[in-house]
Amino acid sequence: MIDKILLAGFGGQGVMFIGKVMAYAGMLSDSQVCWIPSYGPEMRGGTANCSVIISDEEINSPVIDTADVGIVLNQPSYEKFITLIKPGGVLVVNSSIVEAAASRTDITIIRVPASEIANDLGKANLANMVCLGALLSSLNLINNISIKKAVETIVGSKKPELCQLNLAAVNKGIEYSVC
Amino acid sequence: MIDKILLAGFGGQGVMFIGKVMAYAGMLSDSQVCWIPSYGPEMRGGTANCSVIISDEEINSPVIDTADVGIVLNQPSYEKFITLIKPGGVLVVNSSIVEAAASRTDITIIRVPASEIANDLGKANLANMVCLGALLSSLNLINNISIKKAVETIVGSKKPELCQLNLAAVNKGIEYSVC
Amino acid sequence: MDKVLIKGNEAIAEAAIRSGCKLFFGYPITPSTEIMEYLSKNMPKAGGTILQGEDEVASINMCYGAAATGARVMTASSSPGFSLKQEGLSYIAAAELPVVVVNVNRSGPGLGGLGPAQSDYFQCTKGGGHGDYRLIVLAPSKGQEMYDFTMQAFDLADKYRNPVLILADGFLGQMMEPIELKERPAVNLPAKDWVTNGCRGRNKRKIASYALTNEIGEANCMYWQTKYKQIKEEEQRWESYQADDAEYLLVGYGTCGRIAKSVVINARKHGIKLGLIRPISLWPFPENAFKRHISTVKGIVAIELNAGQMVEDIRLAVNCKIPVELYNRQGGMLPTETEIFQYVSQVFNLKLPEEG
Amino acid sequence: MDKVLIKGNEAIAEAAIRSGCKLFFGYPITPSTEIMEYLSKNMPKAGGTILQGEDEVASINMCYGAAATGARVMTASSSPGFSLKQEGLSYIAAAELPVVVVNVNRSGPGLGGLGPAQSDYFQCTKGGGHGDYRLIVLAPSKGQEMYDFTMQAFDLADKYRNPVLILADGFLGQMMEPIELKERPAVNLPAKDWVTNGCRGRNKRKIASYALTNEIGEANCMYWQTKYKQIKEEEQRWESYQADDAEYLLVGYGTCGRIAKSVVINARKHGIKLGLIRPISLWPFPENAFKRHISTVKGIVAIELNAGQMVEDIRLAVNCKIPVELYNRQGGMLPTETEIFQYVSQVFNLKLPEEG
Amino acid sequence: MAKVTVFHEYCKSCGLCIAICPNKVLEIGDKANQKGYYTVRTNDESKCTGCSLCGIMCPDLALEISK
Amino acid sequence: MAKVTVFHEYCKSCGLCIAICPNKVLEIGDKANQKGYYTVRTNDESKCTGCSLCGIMCPDLALEISK
Amino acid sequence: MQKVFTRPKGLTELPFHYCPGCTHGIIHRLIGEVLDELNIIEDTIGVAPVGCAGFSLDFFSCDFVGAAHGRAQAVATGIKRALPDKLVFTYQGDGDISAIGTSHAIHVAARSEKITSIMVNNAVFGMTGGQMAPTTLSGQVTTTSPYGRDSAAFGNPIDLPKIIATMDGAAYVAAVSADSPKNIIAAKKAIKKAFQVQQLGLGFAFVSVLSTCPTNWGLSPVESIKWLQQNMLPIYQMGELKVNKEVEAI
Amino acid sequence: MQKVFTRPKGLTELPFHYCPGCTHGIIHRLIGEVLDELNIIEDTIGVAPVGCAGFSLDFFSCDFVGAAHGRAQAVATGIKRALPDKLVFTYQGDGDISAIGTSHAIHVAARSEKITSIMVNNAVFGMTGGQMAPTTLSGQVTTTSPYGRDSAAFGNPIDLPKIIATMDGAAYVAAVSADSPKNIIAAKKAIKKAFQVQQLGLGFAFVSVLSTCPTNWGLSPVESIKWLQQNMLPIYQMGELKVNKEVEAI
Ligand SMILES: Cc1ncc(C[n+]2csc(CCOP(=O)(O)OP(=O)(O)O)c2C)c(N)n1
Ligand SMILES: Cc1ncc(C[n+]2csc(CCOP(=O)(O)OP(=O)(O)O)c2C)c(N)n1
Ligand code: SF4
Ligand code: SF4
Ligand code: SF4
Ligand code: SF4
């Protein structure tokens, strides 16, 4: 079993962070994982994106041509990455800032007003975690338990309350997931 | 026909210069020539030496393992180079400053009090030219005519009188040559 | 033992610390900078010294000085910066100083791009600097190897008194994978009885790389060559996968090696007898890995992130007895499994497997 | 036309002036310094500019700048200094700037010695710098070729917009031979419509070597490779001597090439069917020179002043179909005719010729 | 009477112009440009004196001032 | 009463000692050493005051002075 | 109504790729205005560094050459020696010119190369993600000085203009800042003079400009300006550090 | 009768390979005496340059490392960082340190490396046969300035000690000369102080010594001394150019 995940948004929206959380979640549940950032001069105030592979077998080729699922947090990313999701795949969209024209019918597009939800939770920059929650049920090898462990190892140790907030955001997101 | 010539002495004794004169003489009489200096850190205040090849055919290998003839202007050079003369070859020695123990019988050693002669000519640093004169008759492809041309092209143009002096020294040397 | 999720560059840095590396001299350059950044945080805690040189030339020569005292020392850079280290590396090799160097290959020539590449293969394996010297070159293909090979590099450097190079690429440097932080293996190494650390109670020593005469120069060269010969005999390293019964072989190192492995697995599913040889030591090139296959293998495809460099060493290793084709991507691009698989089937015209 | 007796280094310098080289940037190093010293005297008279840079890195980058304006420019150095130019050369190749570079090879690695060597062969032919680029490399074997090849180098550089390297050795640089000061041959070269010399009356131009994306990077690499392919097809150069009916071949370039020629002449006197192939272009390596001999020649001996580098290219050129042995000297030493002759007879056990 | 024009595609919403304007003419708007930046807009143009301080501080030449 | 000793194999006949000696104690001799340099010698030792100026100027440590 | 402030001809239409609030853009504009006002766009060749300004080749209307990291002044020397009648300038980050480029900076001044160099000092290596530069302030936190720059181990920041000003060959040396309208106007004057010095062939002209790096300083653009004013202005000697006689005449 | 002047223990017995009258030898002796007097022979590692002093490794009694041309100070930095309690010094020609080595000279001072550097300034590249160095005087004829150094094209000679003295990190900078007993004694004092500064860990210590090159100047040893006195002494700023507070205490 394998999950190939694409994550994209602005620098500062915490794209790399949710990638790390998922990779950790996979690792803590003894799957093979690898987290691949995109890097380069485009960085300069541009979009940030990374991909995560979670697998129950050794991960040889870490090159993702098409992904099973993805999360996009802003418009440019949506346009750039919607084409890279496999037919039958799932794409979570932060509908608060992305107008997702239903350009594809062969994949499930989950629209989550993540920014609003995050604002309600009192932390605008938790939109990423909300979207992560919305994607969870579409993943084979990690779930909200492993995510909890992951968030605790990464954030928790330092600031427990922040940890709670993050998990709250995840749970809000889960409400939007396809079951 | 080919002349392989070794020349050695102190820096400043004009070793490189007589090498150049012979090479020029060869060139002006349409022989193939090549002049090979030794260079390196040993230079620092050490001995100077070079070799000259004059040939009526294309000179391919310019590497001299043993020479037909040679000139040594100081003691260290004498000891270093006497072994490198082919049996039957000729070695001109500046006997004014070199005590040439007759260490080899299979070669002709021409002892020339070159420094004295040069002093008599009024220019101590002409010892090199005197020795060159002494070697001339042992060479196949250059003679005092071509040497005259060579000296004139190298020195002459600039200072004719110096040119005369050089040739005078050569002629003095010739008196010592083996006939 | 539990694992940490860190970048390949960080794995190299952590391994250096745990190998007893006490000094690091470097100059930032993408995509290798995380090595220096990680060490800036953690080297001091470990009682080591990290210094950012004014440039790569300074850094490599600082390594020369530190190594002369017997301390374990490392530097890291990427292609353009690595080019600037060539004179220094030649001096280090000539003075026989154990220094570990990392080159996280980015695409060139010139300023090029930051993407992963293997375009420095010749520079790294045949000597980018002047004179006949060799670096021992290790090519990791995953995070754990970034860690393990770095530890081995320090021991190899001390064992042979020779600079050792870790040749990675931007992809391996930036990717995060779970790393097991193994302890440094116990190996016994020759005593460093040659170091210049002050001559208290012994005769003065010198470390230099010049030859006053050509005769001495030749003697030195011949001595170095015997050392290199020994390394060639003792240190060839590679991974073979499904090679024994293989009719066709993929050969790739680093990132290409792991992608190629996927291709082999996939091909085997389709009943194609494809195998993999993944060179680990690029110098010495693992010629021994190929010997036993020369009679059995029908064709080889080299997978490289360059215009075709290692392919020459493969041809020499098989004594030109097997056709060696090249499938390559350049400029920072990576090949996909599918691409490679298609190329292999096509070049050796194997019947294309049915989908699925 | 009458000749002058000058050093090989001076022949290069004079040829540069007569090729319309208008700028020279260098830094002294034995045994190449006479090039700069000669130009310091004569370049200004010829209306050119000579500048001694603060080091080799500065010098090569000054060449980059001068070449960007379309002017003919040259630099020269020897092994350690040449190593320092590697990053700059990679940039020059990537920016496709015509620059002529001279490396008067001395023995390495490290400070090494000043004697003649060919130990920079790999560095010069496979790219001592980062990335997949190539220098066109010409190897003269006598004073007249130091002169002629320098003139050709400037034309090749302009024709292909590529750096061209003259690879000599200390022996060739220091030796004096009669040189015929030929006039610059008339060749028609592509217009330099790419230079950055101020955009008066045209659109602005830029000269750079970066790739913003991996896709662009790959496109660039592929473009360069097509250029290199063309050079490979059009510019292979070599001298064959007594090769047509040869049973055995000597292969050597530069100084080794001329020594080898003496050996061939001598061997023929003894009725041994020995021939010579003297590579002139080291990159592109003259593979075509070997094709027609593959079926007829029984054995090859490569003569090199290094630990054995070109020997790999020879093996690849003959597709490993002929045994290729190596006779080499190192560290500044030169082989004598006798040595080589003895080695050849022994390795192919030919009966040793009677003396005389 | 003066006028400040915003070239929205050049603006990166850095706010340096807002901070420098003595007359609080500028503010961050609610429309994002192609790049996704919420660009500045003028709230009350009449207050603009054309002093050009905003233009001088703008790193991206997103402002043009007329008088 | 002082004494200057010349280590002939170290002397390179540069003459700096001769030039500096206030008492003209030193002169170039007529014997060449191994390297072929005509080394310095003392002409009249009694004139030596042991001021050591020659030693200070000698680049090759060919002189030793005692007092 | 007519335009009192608009884009100078010295710049192309291409939007800058710099981060929001990065004052590289302000300095670009000043140079663009100077090229424009001196009417030298068609006679000037610029040399770009490697750094965030590495892509500035496309932003200026004049010919441009991209140099290797730190080599801009060597490249500019080559261009100027080939085209003595053209104007040549380098645009370099503090890392580019005062770390890897140090010896060129010194020797260009020593030789009094007739070129103009602009150094943009943001106290970090920006392009590579905010490492320590020779110009990083004591105690300043960067990714390679995570505990703050330790002067005992790494020394105090280099003040390159101060060093260059001590050299005969430097005809004009100024240190300015891009933090406020007043200073930006002064910066423009200095840059303009630095080009005029070259036009008159008076020698090497050097202008250092203090600049922000919000991204790597981890501050907002507005905070960054304050940080520069509070921390950098007091440390670096500002003003015209060297104005040789002929230059005063301008 | 006892020896009042003899060979110091800091030097080996090996005769110098320098040309007759070359004052490299005098400077070697002074360093040898200092190593001896401070009793630090066994705690010192010297770094040799590439140049005529490239073989000095054999002349001193302490451990020695041979660096690449111009890199002695980088190598010394590596040694000192590895062995902070040992004494490390570099011995470099003017070409080695002020041409190819420039950036190391500047940054060693900037970082205030706790090392001692001795620069031997003979106004030419000696080892390679007398080419122009950054220190070559205006009008001076060398093999690469055959018509005399043209300051318009190549600039005026660099006065490195003067530059280094302007930098915070330089604790002690002195410019001395090996031309006369008086100056040689002063040179010795400066060199000794430069080692004491390092012993006390006060910062970077730098001593430049004017020296002769009879061979490449084409003058006799005695004429060379005069040439140095008449031509070099007036040009180069002499004396203690930088003595920071702690150093004064010595
Ligand atoms: C030889 C080499 N070394 C290192 C690098 C990596 N590098 C690129 S830009 C840079 C420094 C950028 O800082 P700065 O010059 O201050 O310019 P900024 O980006 O801050 O404007 C470095 C170290 C490189 N490209 N080449
Ligand atoms: C990288 C490199 N470039 C150039 C050289 C050649 N080289 C050797 S010594 C030297 C300069 C010597 O002059 P200086 O440093 O003044 O010392 P001196 O010989 O005058 O004492 C040069 C250019 C070299 N060995 N290595
Ligand atoms: S010690 Fe003084 S007096 Fe004696 S020889 Fe030397 S210089 Fe002359
Ligand atoms: S100074 Fe020394 S080397 Fe020179 S002549 Fe006198 S004793 Fe000899
Ligand atoms: S990283 Fe810093 S210097 Fe570079 S563009 Fe962004 S803000 Fe400007
Ligand atoms: S060349 Fe000059 S510096 Fe070198 S040893 Fe001879 S005199 Fe001294």
List, for residues H67-102, the tens digit of each pLDDT value: 999 999 999 999 999 999 999 999 999 999 999 999
- pTM comes to 0.97
The alpha carbon of residue B119 is apart from the nearest alpha carbon of chain C, in Å, by 36
CB–CB of G223/G134 below 8 Å? Answer: no
Residue nearest (by alpha carbon) to ligand 1 atom 20: G126
Q: Extract the tokens encoding A93.
A: 């969209």
Structure tokens at A110: 């989950």
* A48 Ramachandran zone, left/alpha/beta (phi>0; psi -120 to 50): beta
Q: What's the pLDDT score for residue D356? A: 43
Most B-contacting residue of H50, H58, H122, H215 (CB-CB within 10 A), to test interface: H215
Q: Is the pLDDT of residue B45 over 60?
A: no
Instruction: Tell me the backbone φ, ψ of residue D68, rounded to 5 degrees.
Output: -65, -20
C-alpha to C-alpha distance for D49 and D57, rounded to whole angstroms? 18
What is d(CA C89, CA C67) in angstroms, rounded to the nearest whole number?
A: 12
Q: Which residue from D minimizes the CA distance to A41?
A: D212
Residue G56 near chain A (CB below 8 Å) = no
Q: What is the DSSP letter of B129?
A: H
- From chain G, the residues in CB contact with C27 under 8 A are 99-100
**Is pLDDT larger for residue B74 or for residue C24?**
C24
Residue A48's pLDDT band, with cuts at 50, 70 and 90, is confident
D111:H66 CB<8 A: yes
Per-window interface: F 28-57 vs B, CB < 8 A: 32, 35-36
Give the chain G residue nearest A11 (alpha carbons).
Answer: G215
pLDDT reading at A110 higher than 80: yes
Identify the chains in contact with F, defined as 3+ C-beta pairs within 8 A. Answer: B, H
pLDDT at B103 over 50: yes
Whether residue B99 has pLDDT greater than 90: no
Query: Cα–Cα distance between C297 and C312 in angstroms, integer?
Result: 18
Point out the residues of chain D with pLDDT beneath 50. Answer: 356
Tell me how far apart the alpha carbons of residues D267 and D253 are, in angstroms, rounded to a whole number.
Answer: 19
Give the nearest partner residue to H65 out of C23, C49, C65, using CB atoms: C65
What was the pLDDT predicted at C354?
57
How many CB atoms neighbour CB C73 within 10 A? 31
Q: What are phi and psi of H49, to 5 degrees?
A: -90, -170
**Measured between CB atoms, which of H3, H184, H222 is closest to F56?**
H184
Cα–Cα distance list, H189 to A14, H86, H97, H166, H182 (Å): 63, 21, 22, 22, 11
Half-sphere exposure in the Cβ direction for G145 (13 Å, CA): 29
- For residue C282, the one-letter residue type is L
Q: Is the pLDDT of residue B41 over 70?
A: no
Ligand 5 probe mutation, G122, G136, G142, G232, most atoms within 8 A of CB: G122
Q: Where are the domains of chain E?
A: 3-66
Q: What confidence category does residue G157 fall into, taking pLDDT thresholds of 50, 70 and 90? A: very high
Per-residue pLDDT of A121-177, as tens digits, reads: 988 889 999 999 999 999 999 999 999 999 998 887 778 888 999 999 999 999 998
Q: What is the third-level CATH fold of F3-66? A: Alpha-Beta Plaits (3.30.70)
Percentage of residues in chain A with pLDDT exceeding 90? 67
Domain that holds residue B133: 2-178
Distance CA C148, CA D337 (A): 51
Q: For residue range A65-86, list pLDDT tens digits in order.
A: 899 999 999 888 898 889 999 9
Cross-chain residue pair D111–H134, CB shorter than 8 Å:
no
Backbone φ/ψ region at C110: left (φ over 0), alpha (ψ -120 to 50), beta = left
Question: What is the DSSP annotation of G105-160?
Answer: HHHHHHTT-S-EEEEEE-SEETTTTSEE-TTPPTT--BTTBTT---HHHH-SPP-H
- Reported as a single tens digit per residue, the pLDDT across E3-51 is 999 999 999 999 999 999 999 999 999 888 887 788 999 999 899 999 9
CA distance E47 to chain A (A): 32
Q: Is the peptide bond before B62 cis (omega within 30 degrees of 0)?
A: no
Flag whether the ipTM exceeds 0.95.
yes
Q: Name the residue among H86, D191, D181 with its Cα closest to residue C70.
A: H86
Is the distance from CB of B19 to CB of B7 less than 8 angstroms?
Answer: yes
Domains in chain H: ranges and CATH: 24-248 (3.40.50.970)
The conformation of residue H140, written as its DSSP 8-state character, comes to -
Ranking A36-40, A128-132, G211-215 by mean pLDDT, the lowest is A36-40
Q: Which atom of ligand 1 lies nearest, measured to the CA of G94?
A: 16
Residues G9-41: tens digit of each pLDDT: 999 999 999 999 999 999 999 999 999 999 999
The verdict on a CB contact (< 8 Å) between B39 and D31 is: yes
Task: Tell me if G79 sits within 8 A of G113, measured CB to CB.
Answer: no
Query: Computed from CA positions of residues D64, D66, D71, D75, in that sequence, does the dihedral angle turn out positive or negative?
Result: negative
Spatial distance between the Cα atoms of B73 and B10, rounded to a whole number of angstroms: 7
Q: Cα separations (Å) of G101 from B27, D50, G78, G92, H159?
A: 50, 22, 15, 9, 19
Would the pLDDT of B127 be above 70?
Answer: yes
Contacts of F35 in chain B (CB under 8 A): 76
From CA D352, how far away is CA B12, in angstroms rounded?
Answer: 46
User: Residue B44: is its pLDDT beyond 80?
Assistant: no
How close C45 comes to chain H (CA, Å)? Answer: 16
- Residue whose structure tokens are 């030097």: H11
Q: What is the pLDDT of residues D171-202, one digit of tens each?
A: 999 999 999 999 998 999 999 999 999 999 99
The single residue listed with the structure tokens 């079926």 is: D295
H55 and B45: CB-CB below 8 Å?
no
Q: Is the pLDDT of residue A25 over 90?
A: yes
- Asked if the model's pLDDT at residue H180 lies above 50, the reply is yes
The residue whose CA is least distant from atom 8 of ligand 4 is F11
Could you give the number of structural domains in chain A? 1
Beta-bridge partners for D106: D116
* Chain D, nearest residue to H68 by Cα: D111
Domains and CATH numbers, chain C: 2-234 (3.40.50.970), 240-355 (3.40.50.920)
pLDDT at C37: 98
Both structure tokens of C281: 């030591």
Q: Which of ligand 5's atoms lies nearest the C-alpha of G217?
A: 2
Asked whether at least 3 C-beta pairs link F and E within 8 Å, the reply is no
Q: How far is CA E51 from the centre of its chain?
A: 12
Mean pLDDT estimate for chain A: 90
| pLDDT class of C356 with cuts at 50, 70, 90 | very low
Q: Give A160's contacts (C-beta < 8 A, 6+ positions apart).
A: none
Looking up residue B147, the CATH number of its domain turns out to be 3.40.920.10
Tell me the CA–centroid distance for residue D288 and ligand 1, in Å.
44
Distance CA A97, CA A111 (A): 11
| Residue carrying structure tokens 């590596």 | H78
Task: Name the token pair of D212.
Answer: 């913003």
When the pLDDT of each residue in chain C is averaged and rounded to a whole number, the result is: 96
For H100, the closest chain G residue by CA position comes to: G103
